[in-house]
Structures are given as structure tokens and as C-alpha cells.
Chain A
Amino acid sequence: MKTTKLLGSLLLLFGVLYVVIGLSRISFNVDILRLLPAQVRQVKGLSLFLKNFSFPNELIITLDAPDPALAKTSTETLAKFLRQQSQLVKNVVSQPPWEDDPDSLSEFITFLLLNQSGEKTAALQERLSPTHAPLALQQTMESLETSVSPEEIARLSYDPYGVASDLADTFSGALGGMGSQESGFSSADGKFHVLYVEPLHPFANYKQTADWLKQMKVLCLNLPLASGVKLGFTGEPAFVAEISTGMQWDMISSGLFTLLIISLIFWFCYGEFTPLFCLLILLQLIFLLSLATAGFLLNQLTAIGAGFASVMIGLSVDYGYFIYQRSRHHSGTLRDLQWNCLQNILWTSSTTAVAFFALNLSSLPGLSQLGTMVGMGVCIGAVVMIGLFAPLAKRFAPPSRKSKTSRLEEIFATQRFAGIGECAALALVLLLLGGLLFKGFPKADFSISSLRPRESASQSALDYLVSRLHDDPGELNLVVSGKTENEVLGRLRTTQAKLLKDQREGVVQSFLSPLSLWPDAVREEENISSLAPLAHELPRLQQTLRENGFKDSAGTLTTTVLQRIQSLQHQPLPFWPANETSRWILRRVARHQNGNYLALGVVEPTPGHERELADAFRDEGIYLVSWNQLGEELGRTMPSEVLHIAVGLLTGILLILAIGLRDLRALLLFTLTTALVFGCLAGAMSLLGMKWGFFNLAAILLLLGTGTDYSILLLLALKRNGGDVPGARRELGLVIFLCASSAAAGFGSLAWAGNLGLASLGQTCALGLLIDGIISLFLLPRAWSFLRKTSSSL
């Protein structure tokens, strides 16, 4: 006895530890690309783009004011205030770093000089030669006297030798300008400003992110800024906090809603509290065990995976219903009851789990994760229900035989109920098929918006930011990756040549290539050997400046650049600039770490040629991507993929049924029922204005895996009892009702999920399961009788 108690205590302790450790490992992945097939080119390219050019620790605060001056002063006030929050904030950037420190640009100018063509370097050498230097300064002086361009006056007064004059195109072309607006700090009208805020410490998990963001919002929103000034919060931390907490809420709320519906159904059927209480406790245990197991097996939970809780509860409770129903009529030992239930549950839970595990055949990782988690949850559910609920059910089963019949069992057994149900089911089918006939198939929506949160303040702020800073949503991002700098360089050259050709042919309107900002070690070496000796001539160059009316400060840039080039003579190449200004300029253009080199450009296609252009760039490591193109590519590939899996799954089911039923008529009825269910589902979706998307396409697979159980069970019962329709209804009516309603509640609770893809999957599955349950329960037996009579008369 003591040993048993000790074993029980140890098992309990192990269970608690398992749950605690497993749950502590759970983290959320808010990247919607993690929900999509990784082998799709657009997904690959966009993943590379987001992985390398997004900033997980950078909060973007947008500031909108009715007046440019007010926007500027408010931005300065806010930036100053945030810099004082040293317990929360490490850094605040509210204007291009070089505006406060123009000298810091010299490093980047050096980098550009080293990578310019040999011809330009030769021209610079000549300009700085003893013969030409005075002439160059005289020309500069004349331009300073007569120029009407403020930029030219500013540039020439600090670069009289024109060291950086050949780089103007690179600056304005490749970087899109150096002003606040072009650098992503303010809109053209000056009324909209952007601040980039870095937290004091990197975030360890989404809870830290959410807490930090909450504190930042409180601080910012309580700051007394002028009236009319509006703040917005976006960027990675805002998305992580918003989506993660949304996912957590989705998981908890849909799970609780499902439990509530299950409780109501159970109470309505049996009117008993104690077994219901036990069932609810065990369902929560199943949920915790499943989630803990997910913590051990999966890296991160995606928005779709988070929807597993309600689905799994809705399916696992079926075993509880079954066990409780059996326990009410069972008079043998507990072991007999468990064995009896195991024989039935093993079959149904296995087929359900297999159907969900089959979602792993889909290339949608989000869906695969949902399938894995529900499949796992269903197996855990079956074990927990047989192991723990069966003893409780037997203990709490009513002692009197009289009360052993459920309130609903007798209703399901009456002819009147069957007749009304058949008429109602027929009317429903006619309505839905009529809807399908008149309104057609539901429309498809494979736009990326269907994967995003239903309502997102961060997304709204980001959309507004993009619209104010004039990014063109039709633009394609050029992502070029490689294992070495040289590999990327080669690919950039190929891409540039191709883009120039496309531009000539009218496919491309314009493009910004990162080629001019990508280092070429060979060219750098040549330019260093050409320009480094000029550092020895700096005294002469300074003297020439003085002689031609310039102060020594006019030569600062020339001196800094030439000395830096000289210092690079014995350094490993290629040279990457690394000061704050250089990093800020390059952060949206290039990434360089060992084994991971990426360059980013922008291509503006001629309208109507977007797809053609995106498809044309298929060489290794070169991607031309956009969210719009991603939607289009998935729209082309996903339906056929789902169709292939569905056909495979249906074939498998038919084969199993052919072996199990060994009845052509039953097989025909099963096929017709399944077809009718999908036809009615399509009609219902059309009537309700629902659309096919990435995730509710998977409803087809889930309905094939779970919904078909109802018709299979009924066909098996009809075959077993020699075609006794009332008998089959009496035996299975309540079970199908309970299973269909609880599973529909589980899926239906996702209809309000924050993620639109998950919500659409929940709505479609709930609808399909209800239709399946109704058709299986009321029309399938009638069709069976009809076919039997027809074949007998024949």
C-alpha cells in the first residue's frame, strides 16, 4: 500500500514537473511567414528579408501633428523625454545620425570611394595632383559664388577638392537621399515624424516585450504634448507584444468557451454535476499535458498552432461522453469498462489522430503544427479519459437503473423526432444547394491580409507610416544572398544587368540596386594602392587650400578620408564601415556576418508585369519578392496541394471502408454523403459571404478526417443491425449529436480568434461538422432504406 502511495506521489510529482517545465518552454512565434510553405520562393525570399532586415528590439513610435513645426518640436520633446528614461531605454534615434555629426559621414564616404571605378579614382588622383589642385579649387570657388543650389554650396564648401563629388549619384540614387524624409524620419510635409527606440536590454520573451511596451505607452501617452499630436506604436516589439498576447487570449478564451458549451451540452443530456466537474478538470489536464508536450517537442507556437486547445478539447471530450454513456449501462468491473471503451476509443482516436497528423503532409507549417498538436492532444485525451475518467465515471454513475437513460436518448429514439429531423435536414440541404446554384462557389481570397491579426494597432500604425513615407506597395524587394561577399557581388552584377535589360524592354520602371553599396575586395585593394600615397601629400593640399582662399577646416574631409584610406593598407579586405552613421545607412541595404551575406534593393515594375518579373528572377540566392506576390503565388499553389492531399486521404478512407464494410452500396452512400456535405458547405459559405483562403482550405482535410466519422459509424451500425434505421439512430443518435456539437463548439470558438486565418478555419470546420452531423443522422439512414428497397424491388 505504501509502495503504491509512494509510486502515486512520484507519478504526480513527475506530472507536475513535466507540465511546469513544458509550459515554461512555450513561446510564440508571431512571424506569419512561419505559417506558410517554406519551399515557396516568395516565402523564402520574404523570410530572408524579414530575418535579416527586421529589428526585433526596435520600437517605432510615429508622431502625427497638424503642423510641421509642432511635429518637429513635439518629436524633439518626446525624444529628449525618452532618453531620460534610462531604466527602460538604451537609445532613441529621431533624426539621421549624420545631421548632428556630419563628420561621421567620412567613414562611409571612404567606403564608397574605395568601391568606385578605377576611372573615377584616376580622375580624383589627377584632381589632387600638384598641377590640377589649384585649378580644381578655383572652379569650386566660382561655383560657390554663383551656385543657386544650397546642397551644392554646402557640399563644395566642405569638400572643395570634390573628393566625394563622384559619389553624389551613389548617395542620392542608391540611398534615395540623405534627408530626414528619405532616411525614414519624417514625411515630405514634415507633419509626420518617426522615432526609433531601443530598449535597455534585449527581450528574453514575449512577456518581457509586452511589459516593456506597456510601460513605454504609459510614459509616452502621459507626456503632455501639444493638442492634436497623435502617437502610434509599431515595429517588431509592438507586433510581438500584440500578437503574442492575442494568441494567448485566443487560446484561453476559445478553450474556455468550448468548455462552457461542453458543460451545457452535458448538463442538458445528463443533468449531473459531479461527473461534469470531473470531466472539465480532466479536459483541462489534457490541455495542460498537451501544451507541455508541445513545449518539449515544438520550438515555438504559431498563431494557428495556438488554436489547437479548443479543437483538441472539442474532440477529446467525445471519449468522455462515450465512457460516461457506457458507464451508465455497465455492470461489470472497472477493468471491463476500461477494456470495452479502449476497443472503441482506440479506433476512433487513432483515425482522428491520423487525420490530424496527416496535416503534416501539407506544406503549410502552421497547419502542420495545428495537426501535430491536436493529434497529440487527442492521443493524450484518450489515455487520460480511459485511465482517469473511467474510474470516476463508474464511481459517479447513478445507482438506479431507471435513471440510466439520458434525457435526450429517448427523444432521439422517437419516430416523430426522426421525421421532423429528416424534413428539416432536407430543407437545409435544398437551401444550401440552392445557394450554391445561385451564388456559385465561394470566392477565393489568398491575400496576405487573411493571415494577419483581425485588428492590430501596430499594423495600422505601420500601414500609416508606410503611406506617409511614400513607400510604394507595388514595389518588389530585391533580396540577394550568398555565403561570401564575392558570391553576393557576383549575383548583384548578374541582377543589375538583368534589371537594366528589363528596364530597356519596359518591364521595369526603375530600380535601386545595392551593387554600389556592396564591397568589392579587388577594387578596394586597387583603390587603396592608388589613393593611400596621397595621404603623404596632405600638407601640400592644405597649403593649396590656404593659397586659394579656403580655411584649413575646408580640408577636413579630404584629410580624414585620405588618412583612413592609408590606415586600411594592411587591413583585411573587404572593408565594411562600422560607425553609427554607416551602420544606420547600411542597415536597410546590407547584412554581413560569417556565412550570411545579404543585400537588399527595390524594384518598381511596370504595372501589369509584377508577376512576370518576380517569376523571372529564380537564380539561386536571388529573390524578387513582395507581400502581394506571395499572396499570388500561394493562390496558385495551395488549392492544388490541398486537392492532392484530400484525394489521397479520401482514397485511403475508401480503401479502409472497402475492407471494413465490404459493401458497394455503403461505399456509394459514404461517397454521396461526403460529396453532399462538401456541396452544402460550399453553399453555406456562399450564402454567408465566406471565402476560401489559405487555412480554411484545410477544413476539407479535417472534415474528411473527423466529420466522416459520423457517416462511417452510422453505416457500420446499419450494416451490423441488418439495416434497422431506428435501431441505429437509437444507438448512435445521441453520440453523434454530442460529438458533432462539441467538435463544432471547439472549432466554432475559433471564429472570434484574433488571427483571421485561424478564425476562418474554425468557422468553416464548425459549419462543415454541423452539416455532416445533420446529414449523417437524418438523411443517410433514409438513403440507406431507399437504396435497399430499390435494390430489393429490382
Chain B
Amino acid sequence: MLGIGLAVLATVGWGISAVFVRLGLRYMSTTVGTFVSLISGFMLTLIITLVAQPQELLSLTWIAIGWFSLVGFFNFPMGRLFNYLSVARLGVARSTPILSTSPFFAVTTSVLFLGEKLTVFTVLGTVFIMAGVYLAVTDKSEVR
């Protein structure tokens, strides 16, 4: 039950974050806003890591640092910046379903490059995701 409660809390955190982004875009450019959000997120994570797992942080190898820098490149200059750019152009409601397709891309990458098996469930999931994205993309409502 605790796991479910925490998972719900995590999704609320992401939902609220999207709301703050939409509001913040009225006062700040997308690139600067992305930078500010990253600095604040980094400070929070750094403090918690230094309190909870200082040894893990201080004993990182150069390979681990390089690897997670690569993760950071895909997650932030690519992921978060383009996420905020889409929110600026489409709004939260229309961009959310498309942004949520990341598991589809994760599975596709795993199948293409890591040799993971394509299953019936994966194909079914992909069909549902495509249908959902089609509905969101063909929505004609105006962005205010």
C-alpha cells in the first residue's frame, strides 16, 4: 500500500511540475526556464544524495560519471528542453499524451539495439499508444 501511495505522490509531483512550467512560461523563456528548473532540481537531489548516500556519490568512477552524463544529455538538453518547448507551443493538455510515449521508445530501443524480444503485449501497447497520439494530434482546439 505504501508503494502505491508513493507512486501516486510521484505522479502528482510530475503533474504539478507541468502546471508550474505552463505558468512560468508567461514570465521566462523556455531555455532559461529549463535551466532554472534543472538547477533547482539538481540542488534538491544533491542535498538528498549527500545526506542519504554520500559514499556512493564520492566513490563514483569516471566511467559512471561519463555514463550518467550521457543519461543527463538525453534527459535534459534533449528531453526536458523539448518537453518545455512543446508545452510552450501546445499547452500541457495537448503535449502530455505525446510526451508519455517514452516507454514505447524505450522498448523500441531495447528491441533494436539490445536484442530484447518483441511480444504480443508490446505490439498491443504500441497500437494503443499510436491511437492515443493520433487522437491528441488531430484535436483541433485552440491553444490559449
Partners in one complex: no
Q: Report A's interface with B, CB cutoff 8 A.
A: none
